[in-house]
Amino acid sequence: MSGAEVFQYIDGDTYVHKLNPLVKILFSVFVIIAGIINGDPLVLVLLMGIPIVALIVAGMIKDIITQGKMLLIVFALLILISVLTVRTGEMYSVSGVGLATYDGLLTGVLISLRLGAMFFAFLLLVTTTKPGDLVNTLVSRLHFPMDYALMIMITMRFIPTLQVEARKITEAQAVRGFKPAGLSDMSRIIGPTITPLLSNSIGRAGSLGHVIELRGYRSNAKIKFTEIPLKMKDYLSIAGIIALTVGFGLYALGYI
Amino acid sequence: MESSRQSSYVRKMVYASLFAALTAAAAWISIPIPLSPLPVTLQTLFTMLSGAVLGPYFGVLAMIVYVLLGLIGLPVFAAGQSGPGVLFGPWGGYLIGFVFGAAVTGLIAGAKEKPGLAWLCMAMAVGDIVVYVFGVAQLALILQITLDKAILIGFFPFVPGDILKLAIATVIAGKMKV
Taking only the tens place, the pLDDT of each residue in B117-126 is: 999 999 999 9
Mode of pairing for the β-strands spanning A97-101 and B40-41: unpaired
Hey, how many other C-beta atoms are within 10 angstroms of the C-beta on B152? 15
Give the nearest chain B residue to A74 (CA atoms): B80
Contact B80 A118 (CB under 8 A): no
Host domain of residue B72: 2-175
- The model's pLDDT over A192-211, given as tens digits with 9 standing for 90+, comes to 777 888 888 888 998 999 99
Residue in A118, A161, A186 closest to B164 by CB: A186
pLDDT, chain B, mean: 88
Q: In the structure, what pLDDT confidence band is assigned to residue B129 with cuts at 50, 70 and 90?
A: very high
Residues 134-153 of A with CB under 8 A from B: 147-148, 150-152
Stretch A79-85: mean pLDDT? 82
B15: closest chain A residue by CA: A205
More confident residue, A187 or A34: A34
Q: DSSP code of A231?
A: -
What local confidence, expressed as pLDDT, does residue B124 receive?
Answer: 96
Provide, rounded to the nearest whole percent, the portion of chain B with pLDDT above 70: 94
- Kindly determine whether residue A202 and residue B15, on different chains, have CB atoms separated by under 8 Å: yes
Q: Above 70 in pLDDT, residue A221?
A: no
Confidence (pLDDT) at B105? 96
Predicted pLDDT at B109: 94
pLDDT for A5 beyond 60 = no
What DSSP element (H or E) covers A97? strand A97-101
Q: What is the ipTM of this complex?
A: 0.86
Mark yes or no for CB contact A36/B7 under 8 Å.
no
Q: Nearest CA of chain B to the CA of A82: how many Å?
A: 9
Given a cut of 90, whether residue A99 has pLDDT beyond it is no
Kindly report, residue by residue over A44-69, the tens digit of the pLDDT.
Answer: 999 999 999 999 999 989 888 988 88
B147 touches chain A (CB under 8 A): no
Tell me the shortest Cα–Cα distance from B111 to chain A, in angstroms: 24
How many A/B residue pairs have CB atoms within 8 Å? 142
Mean pLDDT (whole number) for B149-176: 89
- CATH code, B53: 1.10.1760.20
pLDDT exceeds 60 at position B2: no
Query: What is the tally of structural domains in chain B?
Result: 1
CA distance B150 to chain A (A): 13
Nearest CA to A169 out of A133, A213, A199 is that of: A199
φ, ψ of residue A228 in degrees (nearest 5): -75, 125
> Which residues in chain A have their CB less than 8 angstroms from residue B69's CB?
152, 155-156
pLDDT category of residue B100 using cuts at 50, 70 and 90:
very high
pLDDT at A170: 77
Position A225 pLDDT exceeds 60: yes
Record: contact A115-B37, CB cut-off 8 A: no
